[in-house]
Amino acid sequence: MMSRMFPCFLALFGVAFSPLLIAEEKVRSAVSPGPISMDMLIQLVIGLLIVLAVIVAAAWFMRRFGKLNFNAGRNIKILEGLAIGQRERVVLMQVGEKQLLVGVTQGRMETLLVLDEKIKIDERPTQISFAERLTQALKQKAVTS
């Protein structure tokens, strides 16, 4: 009995609400703007600028504070490091007043040498910026030409 009534119910529902659906469609077509309006475009541009500003701020923050060392300057300092292989390094550390040469591998650290005399470390950055390398290369090319 319920299966016979269901199609009748659907027909009554459709007949009863079809004028409302048609009126709503007319209102939507009259009110809705075209696919791209100036307000939507402005909102899109502002949203993109906000996203880009967040990305730039995050990149700056990570570059500026990415190498945070919360215990820096206390008792243990890493003075220098040198990559020997893909996963092997030799690290010069200072613990208190002693300097240690430590071998670091993927799963192990081993003291290689305890130094009696301190090695003085040059505090200047050893990496040359791209601009400095470019000017050096241009000067060398001008001299050889």
- How many Cα atoms within 13 Å fall on the side-chain side of residue 92? 12
Higher-pLDDT residue of 40, 50 = 50
Express each pLDDT in 73-95 by its tens digit.
578 888 888 889 888 999 999 88
Q: Residues with Cβ < 8 Å from 144, sequence gap 6 or more?
A: none
* Mean pLDDT, the chain, whole residue set: 77
Residue 15 reports pLDDT greater than 90:
no
Express each pLDDT in 44-78 by its tens digit.
999 999 999 999 999 888 877 765 555 555 788 88
Write down the pLDDT at residue 90.
93
Q: Residues with Cβ < 8 Å from 92, sequence gap 6 or more?
A: 78, 79, 80, 81, 99, 100, 101, 102, 119, 121
Write down the pLDDT at residue 17.
58
pTM of the model: 0.38
Cα–Cα distance, 58 to 22 (Å, whole number): 50
Express each pLDDT in 101-118 by its tens digit.
999 998 899 999 998 888
Write down the pLDDT at residue 52.
96
Cα–Cα distance, 145 to 134 (Å, whole number): 16
